[in-house]
Amino acid sequence: MKINAAPLIAVCAAWGVFWGSWSALLPAVKEQLGVSTAELGLALIGTPVGAIPVMALVGRLASGRERSALLTSTVVFALSIVAVGQVASAPQLAVALLVVGATSGALDVTLNMATGRAERESGRRLFQPVHAAFPVAVIAAAPATGLAREQGVETQAILLVIGVVVVVAAASLTLLPMGRGLTPVPGDGARPRRWTAALLLGGLLAAVLTIENAVEQWSVLLLEDHQGASVLLASAAPAAYMAALTAGRLIAQALPRLTPRTLYLVGGVGGGGGIVLAGLAGSPGPSLAWFALAGLTLGPLVPALLSRAAAGDPTGALVSSVSTISYAAFVASPLLVAALAAWLGLPGALACLGLFALPLLAMAALSRPEYGRSLRR
């Protein structure tokens, strides 16, 4: 079947537009609500907490209905974005972000399930280009939102515009020819094997996302507070990682004969070494370069692992389980880095995250040479 991936790319990009804009809106939200940094941080925890249980539930409901489930999740996500603009206190913000997390988690799972089904039905490799749209949108949306704030545009108006963008992306899913009928559910004998695969792939994905989340949340602080970088230069750190991550995914898409074993090895060496050297570098320039190396080498792994999960499971249950398990990284990563920073300092804490590349190196060592002759399986 011929499938146009543009609607899936549009939804992933719209998803990234919100999260890129949200990071740039946080100072304004903090000021408007009059909350402390601690109160804001507590409210932000609601996002991953709301996501995980919903991700587990949505995966069961979306099987065989991937397109309609993704469309519904995307529209509800848009409504939750608009609702954030109406909050007037820290408790209200916490509740609103709990809903945003739940709807974002639902979008995450259904997008992966829909992309997996599109891969199976079309025979094309789609995860890399679909997931490349997210970091591109984040990079573009953050400065655009900052510019809008400088021009005096209110937070509510910005969130309303983003909500409209997300709804438009959702509407494009009506052009996606899939999701017409339920797929068969595997028998009980398949469940132990599925959970073994889910724990393995989900664990590898969580290791990668732990490093990625740490770069997003702590790299600016590292450059500004520990390496004497200017505010402008320090703010380039997440963008450098994301830009390189996008490049890595597009390179992987252009080289279909890359094997998972190669990706594990490259990600383990480049990603692990990159985050260690970025943390220990004494000046901003080298840190930016090492962050970029980590993004370039780790970037292809998330789509490749999701594609692997989708390959042999027509129900989408494995993709759903892998997505849910990996989301634990967004809960654990900030807490882990904070704890390590209290003990070793932030540079040492980020360097310690290189240990999360060891499972990738182990997989590269244990994988047989014939394990997947290409990313398309």
| Residue-by-residue DSSP string for 123-186 | ----HHHHHHHHHHHHHHHHHHHHHHHHTT--HHHHHHHHHHHHHHHHHGGGGS----SPPPPP
Task: Indicate if 178 and 191 belong to the same structural domain.
Answer: no
Q: What is the pTM of this model?
A: 0.83
Task: Indicate if 113 and 133 belong to the same structural domain.
Answer: yes
- In the numeric block, the tokens 């999960």 are attached to 309
Q: Is a pLDDT exceeding 60 seen at residue 90?
A: yes
Task: Indicate if 170 and 211 belong to the same structural domain.
Answer: no
Q: Which pLDDT score, from 0 to 100, does residue 183 have?
A: 46
- What's the CATH number where 305 sits? 1.20.1250.20
SS3 content of the chain, % helix, strand, coil (to 5): 80, 0, 20
Task: Indicate if 178 and 211 belong to the same structural domain.
Answer: no
- In the numeric block, the tokens 């780790």 are attached to 298
User: What is the token pair recorded at 204?
Assistant: 């590898």
Q: Residue 357 corresponds to which amino acid?
A: A
- In the numeric block, the tokens 């209905």 are attached to 65
Task: Indicate if 140 and 241 belong to the same structural domain.
Answer: no
Return d(Cα 51, Cα 110) in angstroms, integer. 13
Residue 190: pLDDT band by 50, 70, 90 thresholds?
low
Give the CA distances from residue 291 to residues 66, 138, 180, in Å, rounded to whole numbers and listed in that order.
35, 17, 43
3-class DSSP state of 5: coil
Residue 234: pLDDT band by 50, 70, 90 thresholds?
confident
Burial class (CB in 10 A: 0-12, 13-18, 19+), 132: buried
Which of 168, 183, 198 is the last residue in one of the domains?
Answer: 183
Task: Indicate if 250 and 275 belong to the same structural domain.
Answer: yes
Name which of 99, 86, 79, 92 is nearest 157 in CA terms. 86
Question: Of 61-70, 71-80, 200-209, 286-295, which gets the smallest average pLDDT?
Answer: 61-70
Contact 4, 173 (CB under 8 A): no
Which of 183, 206, 237 is the last residue in one of the domains?
Answer: 183
Q: Is a pLDDT exceeding 70 seen at residue 192?
A: no
Return d(Cα 110, Cα 278) in angstroms, integer. 34
Residue 62: pLDDT band by 50, 70, 90 thresholds?
confident
Name which of 267, 260, 242 is nearest 309 in CA terms. 260
Which of 183, 198, 224 is the last residue in one of the domains?
Answer: 183
* Number of residues assigned to the chain: 377
- Please name the residues in contact with 190: beta carbons below 8 A apart, sequence gap of 6 or more: none
Return d(Cα 354, Cα 342) in angstroms, integer. 18
Output phi, psi for 254, to 5 deg. Answer: -80, -15
Task: Indicate if 57 and 163 belong to the same structural domain.
Answer: yes
The sign of the CA dihedral 259, 264, 269, 272 is positive
Top pLDDT among 200 and 30 is at 200
Question: Of 36-40, 101-105, 346-350, which gets the smallest average pLDDT?
Answer: 36-40
- Angle at 338 (CA atoms; ends 337, 339), nearest 5 degrees: 90
User: What is the token pair recorded at 184?
Assistant: 């068969």
Range of the domain at 336: 187-377
Task: Indicate if 249 and 367 belong to the same structural domain.
Answer: yes
Helices and strands in the chain: count of H runs, count of E runs: 18, 0
Q: Is a pLDDT exceeding 80 seen at residue 38?
A: no
Task: Indicate if 368 and 252 belong to the same structural domain.
Answer: yes
Mean pLDDT, residues 34-42 taken together: 75
Percent of the chain with pLDDT over 90: 46
Task: Indicate if 194 and 52 belong to the same structural domain.
Answer: no
Contact 306, 321 (CB under 8 A): no
Task: Indicate if 31 and 5 belong to the same structural domain.
Answer: yes
Mean pLDDT, residues 186-204 taken together: 73
Return d(Cα 331, Cα 351) in angstroms, integer. 19
Q: How many domains does the chain have?
A: 2
- Please name the residues in contact with 178: beta carbons below 8 A apart, sequence gap of 6 or more: 3, 66, 67, 114, 117, 118, 121
Task: Indicate if 22 and 111 belong to the same structural domain.
Answer: yes
